[in-house]
Amino acid sequence: MSASQSLRRFQIIAVLALGMCFFTGCTSMTTTVVGMSVEDRPIECQRIGFGRDTVLILATIHGNEAAGTPLVSRLAEHLEENPKLLKGRKVVIIPVANPDGYVHNSRFNVNGVDLNRNFPADNFDASQRHGAYALCEPESRAIKAVLDKFKPSRIVSIHQPVACIDYDGPAAELAAAMGQRTNLPVKRIGSRPGSLGSYAGLTLNTPIITFELPATASSMDRESLWNAYGESLIAAIRYPDGA
């Protein structure tokens, strides 16, 4: 077999494999570093699946609201164990969006900026805590880069401690679908200046959920978190299909 024939055969096999992944679902999780924090900690992004319909789920953009990190770790395992959930889909996960805040148990990054007020939303309001200008912080730039690269169909950002399912943009039905799978009520809090919710939901018109876990979630182990909130995340991934 010539080199050109071998290359052609490889290309055909690759296309068939991708086609099988699209129609039957497959995991093949890849992890990449999409940026570095102020203190040079990596901001990692996991991609699971190859489908066109893309869901972005991120945790711990506020470093002292960290229960989402073990929850999305368990979600990644569940998706690898249940590849049919990824039929026609990909799930993109940022397990720790604020790694310095996570280490220091701080809402802010080490520059004292609330990363969830540092996005280029139409309602951005410059201040010491919001940042001198939108995307002035490396962590928020890394998240923006993920948005630009994957252009998600919907987003779930996991927070604490308000214990509700908040939403921005055209996400009322998505919020209701998630609410059916957990005991957290759907509650509109309002679009905060420069928040990811404001930027994605209002500026980009992308459905986004602020998944507010209760304060008690910090004392729950990974399996307890999964039992309480895992089905709600699966509903977000499967949306608008029924769970």
- Partners of residue 158 on adjacent β-strands: 59, 211
pLDDT higher than threshold 70 for residue 8 = no
Average confidence score pLDDT of the chain? 92
Which residues belong to the active site? 212
146-166: per-residue pLDDT in tens?
Answer: 999 999 999 999 999 999 999
User: What pLDDT, on a 0 to 100 scale, did the predictor assign at position 9?
Assistant: 54
CA angle 186, 187, 188 (to 5 degrees): 130
Query: Over pLDDT 70: what percentage of the chain?
Result: 88
Looking at residue 168, its amino acid is D
16-61: per-residue pLDDT in tens?
Answer: 444 455 444 556 799 999 999 999 999 999 999 999 999 999 999 9
User: What pLDDT, on a 0 to 100 scale, did the predictor assign at position 28?
Assistant: 78
Compute the Cα dihedral for 32, 34, 37, 43 and give only its sign: negative
User: What pLDDT, on a 0 to 100 scale, did the predictor assign at position 17?
Assistant: 44
pLDDT higher than threshold 70 for residue 5 = no
181-236: per-residue pLDDT in tens?
Answer: 999 999 999 899 999 999 999 999 999 999 999 999 999 999 999 999 999 999 99
DSSP 206: -
Query: What is the three-class DSSP state of 112?
Result: coil
pLDDT higher than threshold 80 for residue 12 = no
User: What pLDDT, on a 0 to 100 scale, did the predictor assign at position 2?
Assistant: 58
34 backbone dihedrals φ, ψ, rounded to 5°: -100, -5
pLDDT higher than threshold 70 for residue 11 = no
Q: Which residue has the higher pLDDT, 128 or 11?
A: 128
pLDDT higher than threshold 70 for residue 1 = no
User: What pLDDT, on a 0 to 100 scale, did the predictor assign at position 134?
Assistant: 98
Average pLDDT for 72-99: 97
- What is the CB neighbour count within 10 angstroms for residue 41? 18
All domains in the chain, ordered by first residue: 26-238 (3.40.630.10)
Cα–Cα distances in Å, from 164 out to 22, 54, 56, 111, 158? 33, 24, 19, 29, 11
